[in-house]
Amino acid sequence: MSEADEILDVRGLLCPLPVLKARKRLMGMKQGSVLRLEATDPASVIDVPHYCAESGNELVDKVQDDDLFTYWIRRT
Residue 52 annotated among the catalytic residues of the structure: no
Instruction: Work out the end-to-end distance of the chain between its first and last CA atoms, rounded to an integer number of angstroms.
Output: 18
Helix residue spans in 1-76 (DSSP H): 17-27, 44-55
Residue in 2, 5, 9, 15 annotated catalytic: 15
30 and 75 Cβ atoms separated by less than 8 Å = yes
Which of the residues are catalytic? 15
